[in-house]
Amino acid sequence: MAASKPGVERATFGRMPDGTLVERITLRGAEGFEAGVIPYGAVLHTLHVPDRAGKSEDIVLGHDGFDEYLAQRKFLGATIGRYANRIAGAQFTLDGATIKLDANNGPNMLHGGHEGFDRKLWRVVEVTEAPEPAVVLDYTSADGEGGFPGKLEARVIYCVTGPMQLAVTFEATTDRPTMVNLTNHSFFNLNGALSERQILDHRIQIVADHVLATDAASIPLPGPPHPVIETPFDFRQMHPIGARIRTDHEQLRRGRGYDHNYCLVPGEGVRLAARVESPHSGRVMELSTNQPGLQFYSGNFLDGTLSGKGGRLYRQSDAFCLEPQTWPDTPNRPDFPSARLDPGRLYRHETVYRFSIA
């Protein structure tokens, strides 16, 4: 592979319905590693990573053109907010007041309601060239947007911090007490987004002893987290994603596979949360984060109705998601890690994706 130097490339990607220009900002690392970002939804549009033969390929699902992102809301690579995952009954109590939210998943709220952060055009604040190419995007969420109290000033930073390493940092401040839980919703396939190979043979390790069992609406059940030991949810050691996905287990039936929050082993700062390996391509992804939870989703609801890059129809098990976040329904669960943000405090979510070759 020809050597490459860190840098940034900016190009027009499309236009909003009102004519506003939408860029695509490519952060180039070394030796074929690069990340493409679009401000609409603060989306990770592409992520090129070399395989064991030195061939660099895009490993995230998405669309080739901008109009497809506008036409369908599928969260491909998007920044999720104000609250990733679900809030039961689309409401919670905060300082004695009942906060009613935008219900968009039956009676519940999912990923910020009908018009979450993934449907907003973020502002390009800063672009940094070498040695660590980066882009800073921000968005101001008005008081009451989606039902959430407080004006929230949010920003996301994508930064190539090593030869094959991408750091994604979310920050937010508020002028009133509120709840916030941001994440990135990329769909990964370490064989390549155009490979037409499923991810069931990918081997995964998740640094968690417990998982949240859910009801039929994917809301966490009452009670403490469930131990993963002696269940199909035990990924403390490497296992193929598909090895136990068809086990007759109530939680796998409800989710049509894996779609659960893993309660990460507590620790300080950014720490290893998961490792995924593709035996076919040799690509290895290590995800480290400072968040208390990790939603593992095995692409169960990709049903062939969505057309993506290269005209491919995305089907079940074509990709997996690892979404670092606070636990779902935390605003209604005082026994869960808090998602509260008060004025004068900084919400800061750090996640690092480090790639290597096995």
> Backbone phi, then psi, for 216, in 5-degree steps?
-65, -20
Catalytic residue among 45, 48, 111, 185: 185
In this structure, is the dihedral angle defined by the CA atoms of residues 355, 356, 357 and 358, taken in order, positive or negative?
negative
Q: DSSP state, 90?
A: G
Active site residue 202: no
Active site residue 114: no
Name which of 271, 274, 241, 272 is nearest 259 in CA terms. 241
Looking at the chain, how many residues does it have?
A: 358
First to last CA, the chain: 18
DSSP-assigned letters across all residues of 290-332: S-SEEEEE--TT-EEEEE-GGGPEEETTS-BEEEEESPTTGGG
Cα-to-chain-centroid distance, residue 355 = 17
Task: State which amino acid sits at residue 56.
Answer: S
- The CA distance from 212 to 261, in Å, is 6
Catalytic residues: 185, 323
